[in-house]
């Protein structure tokens, strides 16, 4: 019998996760899995001890991107030799969406122990599974009131985004890879592991979680009409990498500097201030797949 710790965020997904918990436990238990639930708190101060005492065959992260980010870092920092599964239940579940982990068949694969190794990104001592970003729009997620996000989900991000449009201004970025150095005046940049970012399902068309590189997207300074065109194409799943307003690169590492103070965002959580050294850690993490 496979033993699994189910780490769940009770307020994710408009705070209705409690209605899904029994269904998730039922699906895993009916497939011969022993499920040990752990209810997250703002601190999760005893989560590591809980996992070590449970000695599970895997950890299931049920929540949004922030919950997944925390479990990834806990596993990596403490060298826990166990795979992680992802059940997306939050406002944003980009990585789970990219890997199509939202089907009943995924529970079969968890029970059967099917896994794969994936790349991670790393900034300083922090790992990210999906995205590291910074710029004029990446602060939106942190400015959205939690109550608003729980009530309205993704709509809350769009409302906040519309409020910030009048204050958009470009930033002076310097980017270095192993092959080149270039400068851009840009609204934002993203270094991504998958093609799904901020619920845009085809943001980085060449992205792969097993190719040993990260994908860089820079939204260059442009007028509001062009910005709206690019955003519309993202919403409809079109490839934007060829557009004149976008810089697209792939590399195993990136160094990004800004001419003014700027704070990054890592998997939806507040990250370090720029400058950043972002590197790929190839096939460093095992997930149920």
Residues labelled catalytic: 269
> In the numeric block, which tokens belong to residue 148?
């608003």
Q: CA angle, 193 as apex, 188 and 198 as ends, to 5°?
A: 50
The DSSP code for 208 is -
In the block, tokens 């968890």 appear at 110
Nearest Cα to 85, choosing from 129, 19, 150, 42? 129
Nearest Cα to 49, choosing from 58, 34, 38, 60? 38
What does the alpha-carbon distance between residue 287 and residue 289 come to, in Å, rounded to a whole number?
Answer: 6
Beta strands in the chain (DSSP E): 2-8, 33-39, 58-63, 84-88, 115-123, 126-128, 131-135, 171-176, 181-192, 214-220, 246-251, 253-258, 263-266, 269-273, 276-288
Quick one: which H or E segment has residue 110? helix 104-112
Strands 263-266 and 131-135 turn out to be: antiparallel
Beta strands in 9-139 (DSSP E): 33-39, 58-63, 84-88, 115-123, 126-128, 131-135
Helix (H, G, I), strand (E, B) or coil at 166: helix
């Amino acid at each position: 019998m496979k033993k699994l710790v189910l780490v769940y965020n009770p307020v994710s997904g408009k705070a209705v996760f409690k209605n899904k918990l029994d269904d998730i436990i039922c699906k895993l238990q009916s497939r011969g899995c022993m499920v040990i639930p752990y209810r997250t708190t703002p601190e999760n101060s005893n989560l590591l001890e809980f996992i070590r005492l449970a000695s599970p065959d895997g950890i299931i992260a049920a929540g949004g991107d922030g919950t997944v980010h925390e479990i990834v870092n806990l596993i990596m920092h403490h060298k826990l030799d166990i795979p992680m599964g992802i059940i997306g239940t939050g406002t944003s579940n980009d990585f789970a969406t990219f890997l199509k982990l939202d089907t009943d068949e995924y529970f079969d694969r968890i029970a059967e122990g099917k896994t794969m190794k994936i790349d991670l990104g790393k900034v300083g001592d922090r790992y990210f599974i999906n995205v590291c970003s910074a710029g004029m729009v990446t602060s939106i997620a942190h400015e959205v009131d939690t109550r608003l996000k729980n009530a309205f989900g993704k709509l809350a991000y769009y409302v906040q985004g519309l409020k910030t449009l009048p204050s958009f201004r470009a930033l002076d970025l310097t980017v270095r890879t192993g092959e080149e150095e270039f400068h851009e005046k840009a609204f934002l940049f993203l270094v991504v592991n998958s093609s799904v970012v901020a619920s845009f399902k085809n943001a980085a068309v060449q992205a792969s979680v097993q190719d040993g590189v990260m994908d860089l997207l820079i939204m260059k300074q442009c007028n509001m009409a062009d910005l709206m065109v690019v955003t519309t194409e993202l919403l409809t799943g079109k490839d934007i990498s060829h557009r004149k307003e976008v810089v697209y690169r792939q590399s195993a590492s990136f160094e990004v500097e800004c001419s003014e103070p700027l704070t990054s965002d890592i998997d939806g959580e507040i990250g370090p201030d720029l400058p950043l050294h972002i590197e790929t850690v190839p096939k460093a993490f095992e997930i149920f797949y």
